[in-house]
Structure 1
């Protein structure tokens, strides 16, 4: 036995979508129903565990044998569920060594993150059975107790024997589909380095991170108290039965002389600026009431395990265009920032239940709760967090690719890229909080919005107008930035030309150390790390401006498989972000090999749980900033700090 392909069907009363697989398996009623497997691509066998069949001992042994490769689509689910089935104690799981994921393999080639989607795109002979969703709903989740079903809350094989046989066929087909994917993708194997990255990702997800649940519960309670008070105030001011109702509120505003088509966040913010004082007060209350600061706290309650740790928060290769990690469940990749100068004091007030004090001391209780979300993540007893992140990583990478020397000099000398960019654009010295310091903000906006071909629209989307930039300053800002960064602009169009040549001539070409290859109906962009970005079925089309452009197939803005348009600056964005991902992945492997425990990572930042008195921020940052062998000339830097709860420094 060299490989075994596995697919299981399970039951649990815990909502998998809300709580994640780790919490799902902790339910007392969790059960593995069917175990489908194939050895070395042979005939699929189905073990009906509900009806008393047993998994052969040789297969049980294989599940923990690192020399035998276990394949599954979304292998994390099978590995964690089977850990519980095999009797592993809470918080411990099968070693991910030897476990490979067909979903990850598919993602490395730009394919969907669903078994059904991959099978469809690849045109597999044996596709996932369509009736699967209804079968899962019938057998895998609790049912409503009714007179007709005798008041039962779960459907078993004896309740629908025909359905059960179909369910077994569905389980078998899933294994067959997974094997079909492996066969189809065999020409494009995943590198050993990526499997090492995947294994570390699984270790980090298995380890989890502690949540301060006393604080979380008080935050949820505070939110409810605040919302009750705000609703009461709005009812007193408007006499509306339901001041949350958009229709009722729009009618009330119209009756009081203020017409509006929408009560969206941006619209309400604009209305407040010009509304009469009494209407402005109501709109401000509505704005406060609409804040969703409590949603992530509720997600924490759903996800937390019996040992107080949240697991499964990171999705490996979640962004399959670049291979970057994505957030799941609590969505740690989009946590609100914290700016309160007295963050710990505010946190203590919430945790102590002193909600009236919070209301008295701060302008917005909802705003405080939002800023405190990060602080719910805490180290285990006897440890502290060290948080380390790369400094201006994307700005460094794009300057390195483009050879934009003045930018690289800034990084080499430890300068501030926003000040330097403003200085380059406006031809005057700019110092943070010093001479021409007011221009730094314009430099920052330009840096964040314009590096990947963005123009006036990108500046607006970045909030330039809200930050005080005038409308007639936007185009000159774009022009000034591009004139200051001619090599970056050249990089965009050199990449565009190279990609077009590869697709049009079905050949290989190279620019700026990046290789472009057309093979098997796919465009491969090979990064300096050796990893490929893959664009399926590329072809030359005509864009909205009447120029030639590359289109390819992938998951687009509609979240469906569709044809997507791209061009040089967009490819550059993918290349830069993918390279930043590779640098982070290598850094995390180095940290792990050095014995450090990563409990979470967000964008270009790693959060480590370190025993008190052991190691230092400088040591962590030094390891983080080591330059990969393939990145000759790239200037890396990492900053870090210690904290007793997670926050932005």
Structure 2
């Protein structure tokens, strides 16, 4: 006896869609329903261990077997667009896994499932039918089990029903369940039912009489009276509802049991879908070694002798396209991978005569002496290799990871397997697939064959993707952006990382002591105001103290206690000193852990912090900072700003800090073309005061500080697509008043309103918006059925062209400054970049020259309708230079 699992496709997709939080992959595809469906399917398969499997779907354009089905079931509410687009995707995934998909014109999935279930039971098979629809309980039989999954917050429980289970839970047999459904009706399935009869009354009637027809035959006995009257007046409706509720078990669908036999679900085609959909937990189910199918692996070689390596480098000199990647261990080179053609892909471990220096020298030479008629050498991550190579601006090398980022900035990673899948249509094992958590360098040292495979894939994908990515960048209008901004930026960021920034350890220690003293004082003040000691860092204890013991208003009870989130406390802070002190306490403890204590761990032997600056992290194109994040130093609190004091230049040097003045507002003026805003900047007016004057209809000379502050909030808020609610929260005013401010602003600067509306429109039409330099920012959220997600997408559409353009201009300025400092052989170097700000460690003799270079290069990084203004200051620490 075999076992067959039948799945109700649309029903389980629907359950998964509403049960799993919204998910999108980096292409912007909605994937939560597919993800949930697969998890339910795998759970069922693991529990049932069937040998056969099939999935039934309704046809997209359904023609029903009876006219009344078209009249009633044809009026079902359409599914949400985000779910609708996942149906064909689900079918593609199932097909890739070799799972049969069953459909038939004129019949619903229920009918197909019912027919096949009954047919296979008659042939002696065990059947499990999986559906989220209780209608299918009518199919429960001796050898037919109905399984109904319930998914909530990503967790799925499955309820099982044989006939005795249906009887126990619903008091009726599976056959009688049809009559109950017919009497009570089902709005979700457009079964009208009988007015005034609910589930309880319907169940009592069928328990008593066994069927609608028998109940009608005993109409005089039917109780309560309203049920008798309803059945008498609407008997025809009850009969029709029963027809609608009854699943057909004799539909003429062709089905061969053997065609549903489960073979290998984990096919290479399915693996490629899981990679594309970014289902990492499901990918773990696949045996990567079986994914193979890549004949290219036949041409992966390990080269360990000097003569073989020499021949490879000689051939590489004349190869039209070359892919390379250094394999790095801690502070040394463990090997090099080289691809010079489809059949010549090599991993060269560093050993014997093939030292790390030898490999670096030959790679350097290959790049430095590259014939301009040939394509540049392609690598995956140039910045990580620069410490070992003597390369600089203009070298004949291209970074495929950065190219992949430009084409899709929403992805998390741009490893070789990502690029292979996204641009070469190849499914290749990732580094983790091949080596687990072991480093490639260590695996190479242990002579593991997987290390050679991994290394060769790096070089092969870099080589093969180079031409494809170049064409895609050209097609998307971003090749110039890539060549003139993103590639040179790699060297600028590397130079900044190498320079590092010096930290005064003694000042850092003093700063920590100052914070700890202030924190201790705040603790005591909070205890006194609260009337008792408690753990301020415990949200549960804090909530009880504030909202139960002290009876503060606006307490929001959650499953784990009262919410003490920042937004809750900030509303209370103006009226309750204890809350104000708690917020300050939180800020200071974060400063202490993140900076006073946290920074110390990053200081190297040279007394400097050499952080990482990343160009493939943010969707807008901004540079980000990690290990540690030096771009997130607080500026609003005096004690927060004071952390900048610990950053100091070398002896004989000073800091020159230059930052753009209101760059995003100036970009808004340029991109919107609003003449009034442009003129305000051209006249060198105080933009916040002039906005206050216009918005509040007040003569410029009479604008109050409060009006200017409010106008400033509106000015910057508009750039970020702020809502009336957001502005009302920021300014502590009513939403109505905030909306008036915004409307007055748009009346004052109509070109800005037109520009922002146009960006949202373009985002919806194209799926992306662009910066002044052509950088694209995809916005999948604009297609969401969720209002909050769509609203977020609209704000992104308004802000990304402005913020992205500001980031692009800063990148151009940074490259220009760095190049000039080097070309003029100055000792001064950029040590930090923080959004609109550059910090240069400047030799005292060069201070005047550096200020001039910074001001000139930053001012002229872009040609806008309004001038870019730069403020440069000098100081003996970062705080003083501000």
Relative to the length of structure 2, the TM-score reads 0.53
- Output one character per residue of 1:123-162: Cα deviation in whole Å (capped at 9) or x when no partner: 6414342634863347879xxxxxxxxxxxxx9966xx7x
* Residue 368 of structure 2, aligned match among 60, 66, 77: 66
Residues 141-220 of structure 1 correspond to what in structure 2 (within 5 A)?
Answer: 164-189=448-473, 190-191=479-480, 192-194=483-485, 195-220=487-512
Are 2:248 and 1:5 equivalent residues in the alignment? no
1:475 aligned residue: 739
- Output one character per residue of 1:359-386: Cα deviation in whole Å (capped at 9) or x when no partner: xxxxxxxxx2x23222222222111111
Report SS of the residue matched to 1:454: coil
Distance 2:759 2:583 in 1: 48
- Following TM superposition, by how much is the alpha carbon of 1:419 offset from its aligned partner in structure 2, in angstroms? 0.6
Report SS of the residue matched to 2:563: coil
Distance 2:333 2:508 in 1: 32
1:304 aligned residue: 603
- Following TM superposition, by how much is the alpha carbon of 1:394 offset from its aligned partner in structure 2, in angstroms? 1.2
Are 2:517 and 1:291 equivalent residues in the alignment? no
Q: Which range moved further: 449-458 or 45-54?
A: 45-54
Are 2:748 and 1:446 equivalent residues in the alignment? no
- Following TM superposition, by how much is the alpha carbon of 1:587 offset from its aligned partner in structure 2, in angstroms? 2.4
Contact 2:519 2:585 in 1 (8 A): no
- Output one character per residue of 1:516-567: Cα deviation in whole Å (capped at 9) or x when no partner: xxxxxx8684x554x442649x899576579xxxxxxxxxx9xxxxx99845
- Following TM superposition, by how much is the alpha carbon of 1:121 offset from its aligned partner in structure 2, in angstroms? 3.9
Distance 1:5 1:255 in 2: 66
Contact 1:119 1:181 in 2 (8 A): yes
* Residue 492 of structure 1, aligned match among 747, 756, 759: 756
Report SS of the residue matched to 2:846: coil
2:17 aligned residue: none
Contact 2:724 2:735 in 1 (8 A): no
2:23 aligned residue: none
- Following TM superposition, by how much is the alpha carbon of 1:218 offset from its aligned partner in structure 2, in angstroms? 3.6
- Output one character per residue of 1:564-612: Cα deviation in whole Å (capped at 9) or x when no partner: 9845x64342222222223223323333343263221211111122211
Contact 1:315 1:327 in 2 (8 A): yes
1:610 aligned residue: 842
Contact 2:339 2:346 in 1 (8 A): yes
- Output one character per residue of 1:504-525: Cα deviation in whole Å (capped at 9) or x when no partner: xxxxxxxxxxxxxxxxxx8684
1:265 aligned residue: 566
Unaligned runs of 5+ in 1: 13-24, 26-30, 84-92, 142-154, 341-367, 504-521, 547-556, 558-562
Distance 2:838 2:583 in 1: 37
1:418 aligned residue: 688
- Following TM superposition, by how much is the alpha carbon of 1:456 offset from its aligned partner in structure 2, in angstroms? 0.8
1:634 aligned residue: 866
* Residue 38 of structure 1, aligned match among 321, 334, 339: 339
Contact 2:721 2:798 in 1 (8 A): no
- Following TM superposition, by how much is the alpha carbon of 1:445 offset from its aligned partner in structure 2, in angstroms? 0.8
* Residue 582 of structure 1, aligned match among 808, 816, 820: 808
Q: Which range moved further: 185-194 or 233-242?
A: 233-242
- Following TM superposition, by how much is the alpha carbon of 1:614 offset from its aligned partner in structure 2, in angstroms? 2.8
- Output one character per residue of 1:469-491: Cα deviation in whole Å (capped at 9) or x when no partner: 34441111111111111111112
1:455 aligned residue: 723
2:56 aligned residue: none
- Following TM superposition, by how much is the alpha carbon of 1:635 offset from its aligned partner in structure 2, in angstroms? 2.0
Distance 2:508 2:692 in 1: 42
CA distance 1:136–1:66, shift in 2 (3 Å): farther
Q: RMSD of the TM alignment (CA)?
A: 4.1
Q: Which range moved further: 185-194 or 443-452?
A: 185-194
Are 2:849 and 1:623 equivalent residues in the alignment? no
- Following TM superposition, by how much is the alpha carbon of 1:425 offset from its aligned partner in structure 2, in angstroms? 0.8
1:86 aligned residue: none
- Following TM superposition, by how much is the alpha carbon of 1:622 offset from its aligned partner in structure 2, in angstroms? 4.0
2:228 aligned residue: none
- Following TM superposition, by how much is the alpha carbon of 1:640 offset from its aligned partner in structure 2, in angstroms? 1.6
Report SS of the residue matched to 1:639: strand
- Following TM superposition, by how much is the alpha carbon of 1:262 offset from its aligned partner in structure 2, in angstroms? 2.0
CA distance 1:102–1:565, shift in 2 (3 Å): farther
Are 2:731 and 1:464 equivalent residues in the alignment? yes
Contact 1:124 1:177 in 2 (8 A): no
Q: Which range moved further: 237-246 or 254-263?
A: 237-246
- Structure with the higher fraction of residues in strand conformation: 1
CA distance 1:564–1:188, shift in 2 (3 Å): farther
1:78 aligned residue: 385
Distance 1:291 1:599 in 2: 25
2:665 aligned residue: 395
Q: State how many pairs are aligned.
A: 529
- Output one character per residue of 1:5-64: Cα deviation in whole Å (capped at 9) or x when no partner: 34455555xxxxxxxxxxxx4xxxxx5445433346763322334799646946633236
* Residue 533 of structure 1, aligned match among 764, 776, 783: 776
Contact 1:384 1:609 in 2 (8 A): yes
Q: Which has the higher contact order (CA 8 A, sep 6+)?
A: 1
Relative to the length of structure 1, the TM-score reads 0.70
2:217 aligned residue: none
Report SS of the residue matched to 2:878: coil
Unaligned runs of 5+ in 2: 1-315, 371-375, 474-478, 556-561, 822-827
- Structure with the higher fraction of residues in helix conformation: 2
CA distance 1:126–1:615, shift in 2 (3 Å): same
CA distance 1:97–1:318, shift in 2 (3 Å): farther
Higher-Rg member (1/2): 2
Contact 2:668 2:752 in 1 (8 A): yes
- Output one character per residue of 1:293-319: Cα deviation in whole Å (capped at 9) or x when no partner: 431344432333322222244222542
Are 2:652 and 1:382 equivalent residues in the alignment? yes
Distance 2:687 2:818 in 1: 31
Contact 1:120 1:127 in 2 (8 A): yes
Report SS of the residue matched to 2:685: coil
CA distance 1:172–1:126, shift in 2 (3 Å): farther
CA distance 1:295–1:56, shift in 2 (3 Å): closer
Report SS of the residue matched to 2:731: coil
- Following TM superposition, by how much is the alpha carbon of 1:226 offset from its aligned partner in structure 2, in angstroms? 5.8
Distance 1:577 1:39 in 2: 40
Distance 1:593 1:173 in 2: 34
- Following TM superposition, by how much is the alpha carbon of 1:442 offset from its aligned partner in structure 2, in angstroms? 1.2
Report SS of the residue matched to 2:472: coil
Report SS of the residue matched to 1:428: coil
